[in-house]
Each structure stands twice: as C-alpha cells, then as structure tokens.
Amino acid sequence: MPRPIDALIHTDALAHNLAAARAHAPDARLWAVVKADAYGHGIERAFAGLRGADGFALLDLDEAQRLRALDWRGPILLLEGVFEPRDLELCSRLDLWHAVHCDQQIDWLARHKTQAPHRVFLKLNSGMNRLGFRPAAFRQAWARLNALPQVEEISLMTHFSDADGPRGIAHQLAAFNTATHDLPGERSLSNSAAILRHMGPDLAGALASDWVRAGILCYGSAPDFPDHDIAHWQLQPAMTLRSRLIGTQDLQPGDTVGYGSSFTADRAMRIGVVACGYADGYPRLCPTGTPVLVDGVRCRTVGRVSMDMLTVDLAPVPGAGIGSPVTLWGRGPGDSLLPIDEVAAAAGTIGYELMCALARRVPVAVA
C-alpha cells in the first residue's frame, strides 16, 4: 500500500469560485489565471472546473500548449509576454495574446515575420515597479506598437500591488487613467483582491475593467486573509490535502515530541502521527498549534514538522487511532473544512505558496 496521502482537486469548487468572480464583475470578461500549473492544481485538472472562463492567463509557453492540447480555442494571454524573439513564432502558431512590458519586446515584434497580426496587452507600471512601462514612456510604446503591421490590436493593462490591503488601488488607478485616458483599447486591471474588494454591482464607483484576471480566488483562498476569509467571500477550497494517522503515542508530563524537542507535554496526553511532512509540501514552519482536522474535528499540531510526518494532539478526538482520516487543508469528512489560508498564516505565508508547493510525490485526483 502506498503512503496514505493524496490531494483532491474539486472541480465543482473551481466552477463555483469562477461564478463568484463573475458575480463581482458581471460586465467584464474573465481571465482564469492558471500560471504555475494552475497554482499547483494542474492545468489539465483545473481546466475541467474553469472552462467557463472567457480566457486563460499564464506565463509558460509549455502551459499554453497544454491548454491548446485540451482543445481550448479561446483566448490565452501570456502575462509576462515573450522571453525571447523566437517565442513569437509559437504565439503566431498557437494564437496567443501577449503582454508587452518593455522596449525589447517591441523590437522583437518589429522583426517578427507573421501572416497573422498579434493581439497585445501593453503593460503600464502604475506603481508596482515590477514589469511595465512607466507613465512617461507609455505613450511612445503605444505609438510604436500601433505603427507595426505585426500588431492587430492593443489592449492596456496594469497590476495592483495593494488591492488586498489598506493602501488600496486609488493611486495606481489614477496613474493608469492619466496615462491611458485618450488611448483606445480594452482595459485589464483587476486581480482577485481587486475583483472582490473593489468591484461589484452594489459597489458605488466600482472599478471598471473589460477583462479581469482572477487567480487565487478561483482556487478557494481569500486574497485578503485574515481581513476576510473564504466564508466571507463565499469561496470554496479547490484543493484538499489529506492523509491518515499511522501511529499514536501516549505521553507523560515532561515527554517531548519530535526533532529539537520543541514541544513538551505538560500533562498526560495522546498524540497522533500523520503521514505528511515537508517533503509533501506541508510547511516546516508551521508551529505547534497549527490547525488540522482529525476525523473532521479541529485539532492542533504539536512539535516540529519533519520530512514525512507531523504530530497532532488527539485530545479533541479520543476515538481516533491508526487509519483515522486527517485533513491538512481543504474539505474534511462531513461538512468539515480547513481553509488553506489558516495553515498558511500559521506558517507566516499565504495560501498561494502552499498550493503551489504541493510536492510531486503526492498523488493527485480529481474529485
């Protein structure tokens, strides 16, 4: 028998979350962001739940090819554009739309020989200071693209750095509007946090965007946790990581647990040993007290997470024993639920990182 650990991808949750994004941005077309192998869910598996999107946004040509192999004929956007000139040939062949964020990419386009002109998304650096033209250079970039026979249509995009937090989007939105107000073309602005927090039919002065880019919300993680959780945004976890107890120990007061003896029992207690460790993608940084479900009941981890195992306090589930189901995140037995955001927060990180880091050795099934 293989180790009793696996991950489940919930097609119904992906579709539900996509519908939640649409409810916030009913007038926009929706990119489902599937970079990083659909945030660790697997492009092919995620596609089943996200096929109702208007397009897919990603980074890797390889992943774009996989989407075309699934017979997806709609739009695909390369969020970072091409990385070298010959990538443009594949863009022509696979009909990929691509971001243009620097002068080199325009130079490459100008030298590219194609029968079918390209659809590009010109990216403004409105304050994030990663990719994109600064406002002073934006117009000239637009004019250069507009003069190229290789370019059929220019859309305009930017990316928010603080849509999930108190700084918000106003300063970047103002920069975007100033730089683009008299330029034609479709606009794409919002990531998940902007969709959830700054768009919605009931929101006065809501952000307008022709295309929104929904990433993390599709996968059932709240972009602004702990301000809001997935219950607040009515999202459902799209990934469950589950395992079983493979051992138990009865501790006496003063006994310690695991490497570094970081946990000491202050009373007699029973602990369970779970077949899941950092080599499965469970964060080693999760301290004693990280939530975990045993038999669908909320428990806490004790001691350090090791490569293949972690340990839990079984006090809330006295009936648990070897073989009892353990939910590390996602859906548990019955109606139980453990949002990935809670585990991520315990490790000092975000749900994005945990789902992307699911290890290759964990078998994954579609539920």
Compare residues 216 and 241 and give the one whose CB is closer to ligand PLP: 216
Q: How many residues bind ligand PLP (CB under 6 A)?
A: 11
CB of 246 to ligand PLP, least distance (A): 35
220 binds ligand PLP (CB under 6 A): no
**b/e per residue, 232-262, with b = 16+ CB within 10 A?**
ebebbbbbbbbbbbbebeebeeeeebbeeee
Name every residue whose Cβ is closer than 8 Å to that of residue 206 and which is 6 or more positions away in sequence. 198, 199, 200
CA atoms of 197 and 211, how far apart (whole Å) = 16
CB of 293 to ligand PLP, least distance (A): 25
- Assess whether 259 carries a catalytic annotation: yes
213 binds ligand PLP (CB under 6 A): yes
The answer to whether residues 279 and 308 touch, using CB atoms and an 8 Å cutoff, is: yes
CA atoms of 104 and 81, how far apart (whole Å) = 11
Q: 282-321 mask for ligand PLP (x: CB under 6 A)?
A: ----------------------------------------
Catalytic residue among 35, 219, 278, 352: 35
125 binds ligand PLP (CB under 6 A): no
Cis peptide before 226, with omega less than 30 degrees from 0? yes
49 binds ligand PLP (CB under 6 A): no
User: Residue type at 271?
Assistant: I
242 binds ligand PLP (CB under 6 A): no
CB of 43 to ligand PLP, least distance (A): 15
5 binds ligand PLP (CB under 6 A): no
Number of Cα atoms under 13 Å in the Cβ half of residue 195: 32
Of positions 91, 179, 199, 216, contacts ligand PLP by CB under 6 A: 216
Compare residues 223 and 258 and give the one whose CB is closer to ligand PLP: 223
215 binds ligand PLP (CB under 6 A): yes
CA atoms of 37 and 199, how far apart (whole Å) = 27
The answer to whether residues 113 and 171 touch, using CB atoms and an 8 Å cutoff, is: no
Query: Bridge-partner residues for 291, per DSSP?
Result: 300
CA atoms of 283 and 170, how far apart (whole Å) = 35
For the residues of 4-18, what is the DSSP string, one character each? S-EEEE-HHHHHHHH
Element (H, E) at 22: helix 11-24
192 binds ligand PLP (CB under 6 A): yes
Q: Kindly indicate which of the ranges 133-141, 168-176, 187-195, 330-338 contains the residues binding ligand PLP, using the contact rule CB under 6 A.
A: 187-195
238 binds ligand PLP (CB under 6 A): no
CB of 40 to ligand PLP, least distance (A): 12
Catalytic residue among 113, 219, 259, 352: 259
CB of 74 to ligand PLP, least distance (A): 17
Cα 306 to the chain's mean position, in Å?
26
Number of neighbours of residue 345 by Cβ within 10 angstroms? 17
**b/e per residue, 304-316, with b = 16+ CB within 10 A?**
bbbebbbbbbbee
Of positions 13, 14, 30, 33, contacts ligand PLP by CB under 6 A: 33
Residue with tokens 């997806």: 72
User: Residue type at 119?
Assistant: R
According to CB under 6 A, which residues from 64 to 123 bind ligand PLP? Answer: 79
156 binds ligand PLP (CB under 6 A): no
- Assess whether 352 carries a catalytic annotation: no
CB of 283 to ligand PLP, least distance (A): 19
Compare residues 45 and 159 and give the one whose CB is closer to ligand PLP: 159
Report the catalytic residues: 35, 259
Could you list the residues that contact ligand PLP (CB under 6 A)?
33, 79, 159, 191-193, 213-216, 223
